[in-house]
Amino acid sequence: MRNVRTRTGGWGLGVGEPQEGELSRRHMLAAGVSALLATLPACAQESKSVKPAAAAANQDAPAKAKPEAAAKPSKIDASWPTFRRTADLAGVASSPLPSKLKQKWKITSKDGFTSTAAIVGEHVYVGALSGEMLCLKLATGEIVWSYRTLDKVEKNTFLPGFQSSPAVTADGVFAGDEDGIFHAIDRKTGQKKWTFASNGQIIASANVVGDRLIFGSYDSSLYCLKATDGKKLWQYQTEDRVNGSPAISGKHTFVTGCDQHMRVINIETGEQETDMPLERFLIASPSVSGDLLFVGTHDSEVICLDWRKKEIVWQYSDEQRDQPYHSSAALTDKLVLIGGQDKQLHAIDRTTGKGVWKLATRGQVNSSPVIVGDRVFVGSKDGFLYEAKLADGTLIEKHQVPGRGISASPAVGEGCLVIGAEGNDGALVCFGE
């Protein structure tokens, strides 16, 4: 696969210009192929067929070697290396932000961004719907390297885009694409390390446990790969597509999806230890804390589960606005924060499941909130990043992100917040001092 380098500066930079024979998504939409870009998750629509995974998927011989323990943060870990920063998907930043955010830089991409960025050290990593994975300088937005999902594009087609968010390790950047290919990219050079082919679209972001990468696919499987070479360690077959990223706690990973089940899988063996039928479509990624798991549903509820007891602890819904929750929850000791398609950010009492406060926006909130000290940040389809007080939801400020709305979630690291917008010429914006 060819690595494409760009030397142009990052201020107001446009990236992802099509090569000869390659079409942008705006052209393909005009050609009547908008189904490829449908933003509603598949299980919220009429069921579609996917290529069957290997019949013996769940009987793959488990790897004998035990997974390494999750890497301990070095010093004060101010990075944001994965979709929700930590393996439990709690959405809490360790890096502070200035009291007053200012735009540091922005870039644009012809098809925009739905992928949540990663921030590690002096660099930002983000996947674009144009089919590029970008490494940018955090200070300026200048492109360090650009990796494409395909080296050569057939006429009247486009590159498979990145909807999944990158997972960044010491030497690799990992993400799946719309064609079901999982990519491992050298973090320093931007060159391909290896690829792995699933049998369905990958929108779920990978989680990392030691040298293992765990992610779901629309082929209804949860995969565990070895990070160094892409070797499949195990594959667990669910009954329908997997949209969300798997949360991890200890030796367990938790997967939810279109089959309306919550499953607890042993990371070492790939074997299911718990199956909890929920009779609800689960679009969002779950967040886990101890024995409790928190997740929004397409059936207009947020639920708290005790995964060991296999019990629903509480259910929350807003009777005045009965709309799905595709956002993933952020957790504090007292609150569960989650966005809804009712155009609101909801703060829910973590113990009782009662509503505490709501913040209204003018668009669906599919973005997942991020907690930064005593503030919370979340994007909205109205095109604004909202900043509010964690205690009571009082709006502090709105920050506009050019594009056609925000589905991506904020990434907060190294004193900066990075978030992208979707649509034609959608921007990726870095806020800081």
Query: Distance between the two ends of the chain, CA-based, in angstroms?
Result: 38
Nearest-5° Cα angle at 83, 25 to 413: 110
Nearest residue to 410 (alpha-carbon basis) of 144, 80, 167, 39: 80
Per-residue confidence in pLDDT tens, the chain, 433 aa: 333 333 233 334 555 555 544 555 544 443 433 333 344 455 655 443 333 333 334 434 344 444 334 334 444 589 999 999 999 999 999 999 999 999 999 999 999 999 999 999 999 999 999 999 999 999 999 999 999 999 888 877 789 999 999 999 999 999 999 999 999 999 999 999 999 999 999 999 999 999 999 999 999 999 999 999 999 999 999 989 998 899 999 999 998 888 888 999 999 999 999 999 988 888 889 999 999 999 999 989 999 999 999 999 999 999 888 899 999 999 999 999 999 999 999 999 999 999 999 999 999 999 999 999 999 999 999 999 999 999 999 999 999 999 999 999 999 999 999 999 999 889 999 999 9
Query: CA 421 to CA 414: how far, in whole Å?
Result: 21
What does the DSSP assignment read for 116-151? PPEEETTEEEEE-TTSEEEEEETTT--EEEEEES-S
The three-point CA angle 92-95-100 to 5° equals 105
Task: Please state the CATH superfamily assignment of the domain spanning residues 3-35+75-432 in this structure.
Answer: YVTN repeat-like/Quinoprotein amine dehydrogenase (2.130.10.10)
CA 185 to chain centre: 18
Q: How many CA atoms lie within 13 A of 230 on its CB side?
A: 18
Domain positions in the chain: 3-35+75-432
262-267-273 Cα angle (round to 5): 45
